Amino acid sequence: MKVQASRRLPSENATPRVTVVVPCYNYGHYLAGCVDSIVSQPGVETQVLIVDDASPDGSGEVADALAAEHANVRSVRHATNRGHIATYNEGLATVDSDYVVLLSADDLLAPGALGRATALMEHNPSVGLVYGNPKTFADEAPPAARSSSWWSTWKGDHWVEAQFRRAMSIVYSPEAVVRTSVHHEAGYYRPELPHSGDLELWLRIAAIADVGRVNGPDQAYRRVHPNSMMQTQYASVITDLVKRDDAYESFLASSGYSEAKAGALRSTVRRAMSAEAVGWAITLLDRLPETADDIAQALEFARQMDPNWESRRVGREFAARRGVIDRGRGKVPTGATLDAGIRDLASRVRWRRWRYFGV
């Protein structure tokens, strides 16, 4: 990782052109706020492409009204529903600006986000993907945090390795800005990965370009609400783990890596996901017997990912805690309590490293 102070673009530089593709399905009530967060970005020339996927809630009419209001907003409406992956790819394939963003209609860009991201890429021509901190919110967007910014940059291969070590996606999506030429070269979303397509796409981009992160200020606001995709059909922890494994396998299959390198990366990420599954199973022990099926599912996934999971620290912790419950008496052994503390500390360190350094 290389750390750099953030810099402004020289005044003689052409203003970066950024197209923001906004796929929309039944999010018409969020569209105006989303578009406003884009067209108000300073220091860049923005174009907005709203692609409404035959929403029955009137989103198409809202998109048309926004296009009539703003000269740099265009609206496309599907006659029939095509699904989110086809909608994403349709929009992305048409972009010819310097940079491109895919922003869900229920999310927002943070003030100044595009200027910060494009400045990093203008100063680092090898960087094809820039991300930052995506702050979550429910109703009203949080006030923009005043914070100095600085940059982290990685060689693409190094960033790929960091993603396999972390196992959880480093980039959440609304904060991602991609160099358009790199996006067209890497390709778009895989239809066979409707849940984990973002993760697989970032890996493909990092395989052909370097990666950067704007540290400090928030880069996007990620809305969490009951109707969001992550809160509905993709809410299961094990489903998420399975789909992440699909994304890593899809990437490795097309990466061109040697068998040895692909095998090492696969082993690294699967061991991490196995530990995550067992950690989730531990949190379910207090609600036995109603969680018995979920625990069994988690442990089966852990075994598939790492046949030696029981000999790992998290496996020993699970066995000790389950033993206390099965006996119906006794205290959790000191060793298991220590293992839990180490696991919690590791989780906190991992989160802080991601929050402040990007991986």
Averaged pLDDT in 10-residue chunks for the chain of 359 residues: 76 88 96 97 97 96 97 97 97 97 96 96 97 89 78 96 94 93 97 95 98 95 69 65 97 96 98 96 92 95 97 93 78 74 83 81
Contact criterion met (CB below 8 Å) for 266 and 167: no
Residue 308: phi, psi to the nearest 5? -100, 20
Predicted TM-score (pTM) of the model is: 0.91
* Lookup: tokens for 93: 């394939």
Residues of the chain with CATH 3.90.550.10: 2-225
Given this model, what pLDDT does residue 276 score? 95
Please, what is the Cα angle at 25 between 22 and 30, to 5 degrees?
65
Given this model, what pLDDT does residue 143 score? 80
What architecture is the 2-225 domain classified under in CATH?
Alpha-Beta Complex (3.90)
Q: Which of 31, 37, 178, 214 is nearest to 108 (CA)?
A: 37
Given this model, what pLDDT does residue 27 score? 95
Contact criterion met (CB below 8 Å) for 75 and 64: yes
Q: Within 13 Å, how many C-alpha atoms sit on residue 202's CB side?
A: 29
Given this model, what pLDDT does residue 12 score? 66
Q: Residue with structure tokens 């595009």?
A: 114
